[in-house]
Chains A and B, each alone.
Chain A
Amino acid sequence: MPESGIELALSRATGDVLETMFFAAVMEESAEARDDEPAIAVRMAFDGERKGVLGLRIAMPAARTLASDFLGIDSADGPAESQVHEVVRELANMICGDALSTLETKPLCLSAPRIVPISEFVLPARGKYRSFDLGNGRLTVALELEEKTHG
């Protein structure tokens, strides 16, 4: 079960986005994040009342399925790699916006999500994360918050 408000927001936002925009269901959710599958990683920064970075890692087969469903592609070839990347960036963008909208009162300031080498996806020591089994691979979402400096 999510323990903090941030984990709860991540959990709810990810479930909402997957169900509403990708017609996908979460098989199981946990705080364990396996990293033994070929995957795609995305990072996006945000600023506002909270400042930080959202990181997302998704197993390749799950990413391809989500991209096919989102774009309505049902050909045997499936989506092109660029289309998969585009959809995974949009997935990160929506989860970040949805989660932060429940935590913030001021308008959000989100940077453009970017695909990064998988080595750049590191579960942050100060971060909160949740991991979701999508049936054909895991999706892990982490929110790393920076200390705001005042003065």
Chain B
Amino acid sequence: MRVLIVDDSPAMRAFIRRVVEMCGLPVTAYFQAGDGSEALQLLAREQVDVILTDINMPGMDGGQFVDRLRQDPSVAAIPVVVVSTDATAERMEQMMSRGARGYVTKPFSPEVLRAELHRVLESAHA
């Protein structure tokens, strides 16, 4: 499995990667990007199986990134899990209606991210 982590904070990208490594998923490659625009450039040359993205990023934010993904048939089916500090119900609903498949709020325990990733990946393959 190939995982793309999109977050403007290198520290948060490193943390998420460590947690994903603890999830017991058969990850073969990690990719990272600092915003949605960088992530789209990466997706033009690399294939990934799941995307974890922040919302609040300089440049292209998480909402715009999900919109762009859904408009492009070559990447529209890649499941997206939002990882954000914004735990308001309105933001969660907004992101899910734009096409995200999962939502994890920071702070999160490794167990919460693991469970959400498993749920999203299982439903994507169902």
Contact = CB atoms under 8 A, between A and B. Distances in A.
Interface in B80-126: 84-91, 94, 105-109
Given A72-B18, A107-B86, A107-B90, A98 B107 contact: yes
Nearest to B12: A90
B88 A106 contact: yes
Interface residues of B, number: 24
Interface stretch (A13-21, A28-36, A120-128, A133-141): A13-21
Interface in A54-71: 67, 70-71
Interface string B51-84: 0000010100000000000000000000000001
A86 B107 CA distance: 16
3 residue pairs, one from A and one from B, having the closest CB atoms: A97-B85, A101-B87, A20-B107
Interface of B: 8-12, 14-15, 18, 56, 58, 84-91, 94, 105-109
21 contacts: A20-B108, A20-B109, A21-B15, A21-B107, A67-B11, A71-B11, A83-B11, A86-B11, A89-B9, A89-B11, A90-B9, A97-B85, A98-B87, A98-B105, A98-B107, A101-B85, A105-B89, A107-B91, A108-B56, A110-B56, A110-B86
